[in-house]
Chains A and B, each alone.
Chain A
Amino acid sequence: MSSNTLYDHVWDLHKVATLPTGQDQIFIGLHLIHEVTTPQAFASLKERGVHVAFPHRTFATLDHIIPTLSQQRPYLDAQAEAMAVALESNLANTGIQFFDPASGRQGIVHVIGPELGVTQPGMTIACGDSHTSTHGAFGSLAFGIGTTEVGLVLETQTLALNRLKVRRVQVDGLLNPGVTPKDVVLAIIHHLGVKAGLGYAYEFAGTTFDTMSMEGRMTVCNMSIEGGARIGYVNPDQVTFDYLKGREYAPKGEAFDRAVAYWKSIASLPRATYDDIVRLEAKSIEPMVTWGINPGQSVGVSQSLPLPETMPDSDRQTANDAYAYMKFTPGSKIQGQAIDVVFIGSCTNSRISDLREAARILQKGKVAAGVQAIVVPGSQAVKRQAEAEGLDEIFKSAGAQWREAGCSMCLAMNPDKLIGDQICASTSNRNFMGRQGSPTGRTLLMSPAMAAAAALRGEITDVRELL
């Protein structure tokens, strides 16, 4: 069992009781909610006449179903409109802060929590969304839950949980030019596999993370879940504190100093012990692209696609399924693979640094003929910032579409969908079958810079050729 890690510290501080079943009852310091995974939970509370226990520890936004061409109500999709109405009605008179589109602070829940300073180190954070692991970038224990659990948090601000093991994922060294945090996390998932994280929290440590920006750390922690780990975190440091200082919901003045003292106190100690430690070298990582139907099925952009017959039995069937679905040929190169759509966005890669990276490449040319490229900022605040920097003009003059904030084509619950078996170069987090809205649509995951390069050439391109 691990000891003296951030995971242990935060768990122990938030433990309310040991339940008769043997599970721990854990206080949830921050509850983030959105329209898709909450209506049934609110209905259950209403049915029983129960009130929200800690409304001021709960924050809401609208992100999954919101259209990105125009946020104007009513939405054209009647189901989406009903979902928005349900959220508004469920929040009315609860005291829960709602970052709705009119507030100017709406956006993807995992983008706005950090940018508003709601997300802070040393918290337990739950949300009915598996990418809640994103918030672990601040040194919090943040994890996705289901709707019944959303109801439990609304009602008691606690959950019954099993303690996880802790694996330290240590990456050291400087990243090569053209290699980004997205490539780091895709390389980690490729190296460890999509099942390795079952039962574990991942602590991302080492000099590569020490020198990574907060937005980069968010990208890495975001995809912990794709490696099977429900929780991923980075210990808080000066980079974290500098990011939070001055944000709307961050502590101010002397309270900020006291906060920093608390945030430092929960970090893993040098004498911490782990259930497992794995190490990677940053210099061995190149720009990554997925070719299959789970995020572990990836290759470096210069590599050939793997041969199923050389794989262990346990991976071969999934690889064969992936080749059948993707219509790719084992042994062929991923570089040069034609694409139809480019999606730059999602809770993984829709922050200002991601858009700057994409713009840096897109300003070198035009989106290739026949390719549809859409850029979807993660929040209204990211959109304003990008427009202040003129990034929107770069995207538009390159021939890409500049949209309103939301989850968009990551999971296609709004009108942004692939059609038929289109291939999408996507900065999102999941290349699952049908994920981007067409049951036969195909997703290749990559960094914003790589997606921008693919947009210019109309095919998978090594972005290092364009730097």
Chain B
Amino acid sequence: MRLEDAIITTVSGRAVPILGDDIDTDRIVPARFLKEITFANMGNYLFYDLRFDETETPKAHPLNDPHYLGARIMIVGRNFGCGSSREHAPQAIKRFGIQAVIGESFAEIFAGNCKAIGLPVVSVSDGAHALIIDHITHHSEALLSLNLDTKTLQYGAETCHVELPEARRQAFISGTWESTALLRVNMPAVLEKAKQLPYVQGFAS
């Protein structure tokens, strides 16, 4: 991917609310779907056991609600993505068509995985979270606009502040969230570091 194409500064679109705290990655993608050796189908498995019963009949869930069809932004609660490190979870969210996740807080490994695949996750205050949920519940057609340059989220006539670690913000707005190139540049220093670490040298002397 060219650097210009990797730059992410704004995400605009309708938003779907996912209510509740401590939503773990087992809930986001149940483990049985991890037996596939590619991520290609993960979008189909997003929140699978909450969206479908044992006969694969859809259940009441925001992602099955026609009002939220085509949403590009997901609004979540606290400690979203806790538990297993499975990247299948953010892959499922992204491949479902979600381009940004906005919540009160995120599990560390999940947030790192989202950054690694170019899916911005940002946090908002408790108060703002309640107002956003209220807004999109009553106006499912509302367009939200997340701006990583100004660290703001616009919804209806309101604008609120969003937070994310500065290094992650820089990675999105500079198009360097895919960090292979950044890390490879320093390979001479990596080789040097390996020589300095006593255990890498087998505590030879």
Task: Give the B-binding residues of A (Cβ under 8 A).
Answer: 13-14, 16-17, 19-23, 25, 27, 29, 36-37, 39-40, 43, 53-54, 57, 64-65, 77, 79-80, 82-83, 86, 120, 122-123, 128-130, 132, 143-149, 151-152, 155-160, 162, 164, 194-195, 198-199, 225-226, 228, 230, 251, 255-256, 258-259, 262, 294, 314, 317-318, 321, 411-413, 430, 432-435, 437, 439
Q: How far, in angstroms, from A413 to B39 measured CA to CA in the complex?
A: 17
Complex partner residue of A430 from B24, B182, B197, CB under 8 angstroms: B24
Choose among A20, A64, A230, A255 the residue that contacts B204 (Cβ–Cβ < 8 A): A255
B interface list, Cβ under 8 A from A: 19-22, 24, 26-27, 30-32, 34-39, 49, 54, 78-79, 82-87, 90, 105-109, 112-113, 116-117, 165-168, 170-171, 174, 176, 179-180, 182-184, 186-187, 189-190, 193-194, 197-200, 202-205
Interface centre among B26, B189, B198, B204 (most CB of A within 10 A): B198
Query: What residues on B are CB-neighbors of A29 within 8 Å?
Result: 197, 199-200
- The chain B residue with its CB closest to the CB of A150 is B87
A142 → chain B closest CB, angstroms: 12
Contact B199 A435 (CB under 8 A): no
Of B19, B54, B171, B204, which is within 8 A of A439 by CB?
B54
Given known contacts A20-B170, A259-B203, A40 and B84 CB-to-CB distance under 8 angstroms: no
The answer to whether A17 touches B87 (Cβ under 8 A) is no
> How many inter-chain contacts with C-beta < 8 Å in the A-B complex?
214
Inside 8 A of B36's CB, which chain A residues have their CB? 79
Q: Provide the residues of chain A in CB contact with B86, threshold 8 Å.
A: 36-37, 146
Complex CA gap A165/B30 in Å reads: 31
A321 CA / B24 CA spacing, docked (Å) = 14
Chain B's nearest CB lies how many Å from the CB of A193?
9
Please measure, in the bound complex, the distance between the C-alpha atom of A156 and the C-alpha atom of B182, giving whole angstroms.
Answer: 10
Residues of A near B30 (CB, < 8 A) are 434, 439
CA distance A157 to B190 in the complex (A): 8
- Cross-chain contact B116 with A122 (CB below 8 angstroms): no
Inter-chain contact A317/B32, CB cutoff 8 Å: no
Which one of A20, A82, A132 has the highest number of Cβ atoms from chain B below 10 Å of its Cβ? Answer: A20
Partner of A158, one of B112, B183, B198: B183
Known: A122-B199, A432-B27. A149 touches B113 (CB 8 A): yes
Q: Given the known A-B contacts A20-B170, A40-B38, are A314 and B87 also in contact in the complex, defined by CB atoms under 8 Å?
A: no
Contact residues in A for B174 (Cβ distance below 8 Å)? 20-21
* B117 in contact with A156 (CB, 8 Å): no
A25 to B107, CA, bound (A): 21
Residues in B with CB closer than 8 Å to A19 are 167, 179, 182-183
Closest to B22 in A: A294
Distance between B47 CB and nearest chain A CB, rounded to angstroms: 11
Query: Does A39 lie within 8 Å of B197, measured CB to CB?
Result: no
Alpha-carbon gap, A166 to B34, bound state (A): 33
B193-A162 in contact (CB<8A): no
Q: Within the complex, which residue of B32, B112, B167, B204 is in contact with A149, where a contact is CB–CB below 8 Å?
A: B112
Q: A16-B189, A36-B35 are in contact. List 18 more A-B contacts (CB 8 A).
A: A16-B190, A19-B182, A27-B194, A27-B197, A36-B34, A40-B39, A83-B35, A130-B84, A146-B113, A157-B190, A157-B194, A160-B182, A195-B79, A198-B106, A226-B83, A412-B31, A432-B26, A434-B49
A122 CA / B21 CA spacing, docked (Å): 35
Please indicate the chain A residues that have their CB under 8 angstroms from the CB of B186 in the complex: 16-17, 25, 158
Complex A-B: 27 CB contacts under 8 Å: A19-B182, A21-B170, A22-B167, A22-B170, A37-B87, A54-B194, A79-B35, A130-B109, A132-B85, A144-B109, A146-B116, A148-B87, A148-B116, A152-B116, A155-B183, A156-B187, A158-B183, A164-B108, A225-B83, A228-B82, A317-B20, A318-B21, A411-B84, A413-B35, A432-B24, A434-B26, A435-B31
